[in-house]
Chain A
Amino acid sequence: MKQNPQKVNSSLTGSKVYAGVVFRNLVLHLHPVRIPKKSIAFNHTFGLGGMLALLFVLQAFTGILLRFVYQPSPEKAYDSILSIQQDVFMGQFVRNIHHTAGMLMVVLVFFHLLRVVFTEAYKPPRRGNWIIGVVLLLLVIFSNFSGYLLPWDQLSFWAVTVATSMLDYLPFIGEKLMLVIRGGEDVGAITLLNFYNFHTGIFPLSIVILMAFHFWKVRKAGGVVIPGGAGDKDIEKVQVYPNLVAREFVVALVLLALIFLVSSLRNVPLLERANPALSPNPAKAPWYFMGIQELLMHLHPFFAAILIPFLFIISLFSLTFLRFREDRAGIWFSSDKGKRLSKKIALVTLLLVPVLVLASELIPDMVEASSGVRAFIINGLIPFFMFLFLMALFVLWLSRKGNYNMNEIVQGIFVFIISSYLVLMFIGIWFRGEGMELCWPWMR
């Protein structure tokens, strides 16, 4: 049955309950008039993309407020944050919201990516949107990272020093790139200005543009992914208003309420003023980079900080170019078998990674100090190729002996990589104390 959108629209206009111009222009620009019933179930998408869009607006709003007080220079930055917290009406609250929602965006953008991977929505016809999505992921992470420096306290100064130093290990252009980003040898005034510009100008602008593209492409693909696809004629459809709009409204209100609640109960941290001569002990990168910092404790920096993250991003982009014989798009975890495999893999990494970390901590360093090439081979090349070799064996075993299809195997590898990173990250955040030595969280 084909509905005439014009007719629905005019009937809406006629009803005085919801005749707002805003509604017609905004909501019906984002959504079609009728959508498949399956796609509005909360546990199909978890509304993550919508939450991200809302949080972006919240960040823009609170960010503009903060910009009226904040001064981007090493002399004034810290004091202007103090002034926001102490002198400005509701300043602390606004800073709390911006900080909390910024953190939440990194978490949700990651969950959103998981949801897209686990429902196999990254394949054509959503190839373009997957690629835009990966760029958005990077933009959200780097937005958070560039904002991290702005308070100019001990936490932000050293987190950014450590994180930008990683570039130094990139062959040929690394050092130059670091000099350009920092605007000099050390993190200083020009670094702060650079970060401020990216954080409040270039990144948000890029996100707005890509988000518009992203939404348009969701519509162009016929809505979010569902089994059988949007082209299916007999699929059960419902009106967007009120079915989807009401759900979105509830999710938005709950999310905002939660953020406001957290922001009014707990003040976000501000350490002492940045002191370039004194690294805090321990000095940690922003939490989402702690997996990389943990890897750095075990592997040669070129592998830990450059090659592995680079390969990960390349594989994210290339995921959409894989060709599958079977189409499981829209089905969570591909199949029951795939779900069980992924669960097992996640459990195994939960045990395996801590064991490896402990082992690497207990085995004395095989590499004699300051032997550059040997360290590169022993702490880099050998573990890296050993990992690739074992991975290849595992995949071979899965497809030959376990009879898993490609959809399940790709998902399994993805789960393996993601859960390894998460375990490393949590070890770095919670189980590393003074001198970055391993310890229990309650003994830090």
Chain B
Amino acid sequence: MNRRSFLNKIWIWIGVVAGIEFLGLSLSFLVSGKKRGERHNSDRLKVIGRLEDIKPGEVYPYSNGRLYLVRHSDGGMLALSLKCTHLGCSIHWNEDEDKFICPCHSSEFNRFGDVLKPPAPHALDTYKVIVKEGKVMVDLDKKIRRRKFEKSDLTYA
């Protein structure tokens, strides 16, 4: 290797290093911006309604927060995410058939969020339900992924 080709190699490597640095900087620029954007959505605790208005055996849509609040006949409450676990379409409640149906690829879920019909791979996500001073609130910050419904998912007043 003569001196010229050696120097050329060095230039190429400096270029590569500079390129990687530039790419890294750009990426961290992009990623950091996203996080800050999210922080602005403060107030993740959403009030759904008063406890006495939420009747056992009913399913309440709460589309602003993108969730359904289900109160089971024994009084246990469950906040189900509206997002189908298959590919993220919004499920809707079918009163007559007593199940949630996803319009996109026709997955079905029961009122506990368990899958009745694939392609959805697992039960609907839930949010934490908090009952305080007679008010029912949902913590939108804490999305809970789960495989299957467990009794402990329910919140009692």
Contact = CB atoms under 8 A, between A and B. Distances in A.
Interface string B95-110: 0000001111110000
Interface string B65-108: 01000000000000000100011111010000000011111100
A54 interface: no
B94 to A, nearest CB: 11
A279 B119 contact: no
Given A301-B121, A369-B114, A370-B114, A180 B31 contact: yes
| A interface, size bucket | 35 or more
A10 interface: no
A185 B104 CA distance: 19
A277 B119 contact: no
A157 to B, nearest CB: 11
A185 B143 CA distance: 11
Interface stretch (A29-37, A99-107, A280-288, A312-320): A280-288
Contacts of A185: 143
B70 to A, nearest CB: 17
Nearest to A299: B119
B34 A370 contact: no
Nearest to B115: A369
A277 B89 CA distance: 9
A46 to B, nearest CB: 36
A102 to B, nearest CB: 24
Looking at chain B's contact residues, the main secondary structure is loop
Contacts of A179: 34
A296 interface: yes
A435 B106 contact: yes
Interface in A131-173: 158, 161-162, 164-166, 168
Interface string A408-444: 0000000000000000000000000011110000000
Interface in A162-197: 162, 164-166, 168, 179-180, 183-186, 189-190
A278 interface: yes
Contacts of A283: 89, 103-104
B122 A370 contact: yes
Contacts of B64: 277
Contact of A370 (B31, B63, B88, B147): B147
A297 B88 contact: no
B25 interface: no
A365 B118 contact: yes
A375 interface: yes
Interface string B133-144: 000000000010
A276 interface: yes
Contacts of B121: 300-301, 370, 372, 375
B111 to A, nearest CB: 14
Interface residues of B, number: 35
A277 B120 CA distance: 18
B106 A276 contact: no
Contacts of A277: 61, 63-64, 66, 82, 90
A381 to B, nearest CB: 15
A10 to B, nearest CB: 39
Contacts of A436: 103-106
A293 interface: yes
Contacts of B9: none
A307 interface: no
A107 B86 CA distance: 29
A251 B98 CA distance: 59
A367 interface: yes
Contact of B89 (A158, A164, A367, A434): A158
B105 A293 contact: yes
B99 to A, nearest CB: 12
22 contacts: A158-B89, A168-B87, A185-B143, A186-B88, A190-B37, A277-B61, A277-B63, A277-B64, A277-B66, A278-B92, A281-B103, A282-B104, A283-B103, A293-B105, A365-B118, A369-B115, A370-B114, A370-B121, A370-B148, A372-B147, A435-B106, A437-B106
The 7 A-B pairs at the shortest CB distance, nearest first, are namely A281-B103, A277-B63, A369-B115, A165-B87, A165-B88, A279-B89, A283-B104
Interface of B: 30-31, 34, 37-38, 61, 63-64, 66, 82, 86-90, 92, 101-106, 114-123, 143, 147-148
